[in-house]
Amino acid sequence: MAISLFATLENKHLKLSWSDDTTRLWPYCVLLSSVQANAEKIRAVLKEITQNDISTGRAEYVQYLSRLGRAGADLFSSLFDARDNASAAQDAEDMIRQAPGRSELSVFSEICVPWGFVFGGNQTALATPTGQISDFDQFWSSRFTMTLRGAQQSRMGPEPRKRETFRMLHALHKDRFNAAVGLLPRQQRQVLEGLVEFEVGHVTDWDQCRDKWQTIQNNDSLLHIFGHSDGEKVFLSDAPSSDVHCLEADRFKTLFAKARQTQSVTICFLNGCRTGAGPVGESFLDVLFDRGFQGFIGTEAEVSNEFAATYAAEFLSRLWFGGASVRETFEALRVELFPLSLMYSCYAHPEFRIEASTMGANAEPHRQAA
């Protein structure tokens, strides 16, 4: 079964339109402020989980699970609390509750919401968590096979991106990146260090990034940003003195504009705090679905620099060397790097992939950026 949800802004409301394989329901509106408030409740709990990991080195969530379930249940309720057309909202709730496990759920949204943490199950089932990913079976990220996208879409063909013309550009917070890489196991460190030197290499400020981008904007590409973010800006320094180290979401679109006639496609890996959680009209969701951009991978809460580097090494390696799609990579890491992997949300095109390497992560030479 495949379910689709279109969530669009309408004044102070969020307009929700649901459909499945056979039925398209009438749209209805819910209060935008209620959805946003409950989304922030979830992110507040996620922040406590990640802060505990950063301060103690232990990624523990069990003590927070009941609160996360309550916050997720509140978000669920706000999505079906119609301000109009209550019967359509009830039909939609029935549709989502009655869907078979692991049905496909595609969400096309104009706002960033922690959709994977919406909880529509029985909260008493959370009373005895096991410490396994099955603890999240009633959250939407486990209940469904999810695809998150922006409301505006760019077209992309089904074929893999060609390796010989594909480019990667890495914008790095130098101090945080170097410190994190130094903590990685040898193989992960070598893979990540090699990837950030692959064409066109890495930069450490936004002026350099603009110059490098201009040379590859017509290529299929991946833009990887390893920095600090508040959801509205990305910083490549802990003490940015000027725009050279600070980039706002609205200026992001100008810096990384593609020509209107380009057929190239790009995804962005925003590896920073709360990059998937910006405010309406000022988030990266608003700027990364336009003219050849196919979305982004971001975080709902701050993660440690070490885990961000681990996730980057695994994600980029599978995508670049293994020929795995974004969906395959994201779903695999969700399990393998649990529980902190759940902090990542994927708004990138699920079928984006690069031709697989004929060699491998340890054998393929990395070309130095020009």
Lowest mean pLDDT among 35-39, 135-139, 286-290, 294-298: 286-290
pLDDT reported for residue 233: 82
**Residue 363 clears pLDDT 70, i.e. is over it:** no
Question: pLDDT, tens digit, for every residue of 306-348?
Answer: 999 999 999 999 999 999 999 999 999 999 999 999 999 999 9
**For residue 259, what pLDDT band results from cuts at 50, 70 and 90?**
confident
In the numeric block, the tokens 């939407």 are attached to 140
Q: Is the peptide bond before 200 cis (omega within 30 degrees of 0)?
A: yes
Whether residues 66 and 17 fall in one domain: yes
pLDDT reported for residue 199: 86
Residue 298 belongs to some domain of the structure: yes
pLDDT reported for residue 57: 87
Query: Which pTM was predicted?
Result: 0.91
**Residue 290 clears pLDDT 80, i.e. is over it:** no
Residue 101 belongs to some domain of the structure: yes
Residue 356 belongs to some domain of the structure: no
Residue 290 belongs to some domain of the structure: yes
Whether residues 122 and 269 fall in one domain: no
pLDDT reported for residue 118: 98
Residue 360 belongs to some domain of the structure: no
- Number of domains observed in the structure of the chain: 2
pLDDT reported for residue 205: 93
Average pLDDT value for residue range 18-46 = 96
**Domain edge (last residue) among 106, 126, 150:** 150
Selected residue with higher pLDDT from 260 and 12: 12
Whether residues 123 and 181 fall in one domain: no
Q: Are 340 and 53 in contact, with CB atoms under 8 Å apart?
A: yes
Whether residues 242 and 171 fall in one domain: yes
Which letter does DSSP use for residue 202 in this model?
A: E
Whether residues 170 and 316 fall in one domain: yes
**For residue 212, what pLDDT band results from cuts at 50, 70 and 90?**
very high
Whether residues 248 and 312 fall in one domain: yes
Whether residues 260 and 315 fall in one domain: yes
**Domain edge (last residue) among 115, 150, 185:** 150
**Residue 286 clears pLDDT 80, i.e. is over it:** no
**For residue 209, what pLDDT band results from cuts at 50, 70 and 90?**
very high
CATH number for the domain that contains residue 308: 3.40.50.1460
Whether residues 69 and 168 fall in one domain: no
**For residue 255, what pLDDT band results from cuts at 50, 70 and 90?**
confident
Torsion of CA 81, 84, 86, 89, to 10 degrees: -60
Nearest-angstrom CA–CA distance, 5 and 21 = 12
**Domain edge (last residue) among 124, 150, 176:** 150
The string of DSSP letters for 294-341 reads EEEEEESS---HHHHHHHHHHHHHHHHTS---HHHHHHHHHHHTTTGG
Residue 96 belongs to some domain of the structure: yes
Whether residues 37 and 107 fall in one domain: yes
pLDDT reported for residue 275: 56
Residue 266 belongs to some domain of the structure: yes
3-class DSSP assignment, residue 253: helix
pLDDT reported for residue 362: 46
Chain-wide mean pLDDT for the chain? Answer: 89
**Residue 304 clears pLDDT 60, i.e. is over it:** yes
Identify the domain containing residue 96 by its residue range. 2-150
Whether residues 177 and 277 fall in one domain: yes
Residue 370 belongs to some domain of the structure: no
Question: pLDDT, tens digit, for every residue of 90-103?
Answer: 999 999 999 998 99
Whether residues 232 and 257 fall in one domain: yes
Whether residues 64 and 143 fall in one domain: yes
Question: pLDDT, tens digit, for every residue of 33-87?
Answer: 999 999 999 999 999 999 999 999 888 999 999 999 999 999 999 999 999 999 9
The string of DSSP letters for 141-193 reads HHHEEEEEEESS-----SSPBPGGG-EEEEEE-HHHHHHHHTTS-HHHHHHHH
**Residue 280 clears pLDDT 60, i.e. is over it:** no
pLDDT reported for residue 277: 54
Q: Are 42 and 68 in contact, with CB atoms under 8 Å apart?
A: yes
pLDDT reported for residue 355: 95
**Residue 369 clears pLDDT 70, i.e. is over it:** no
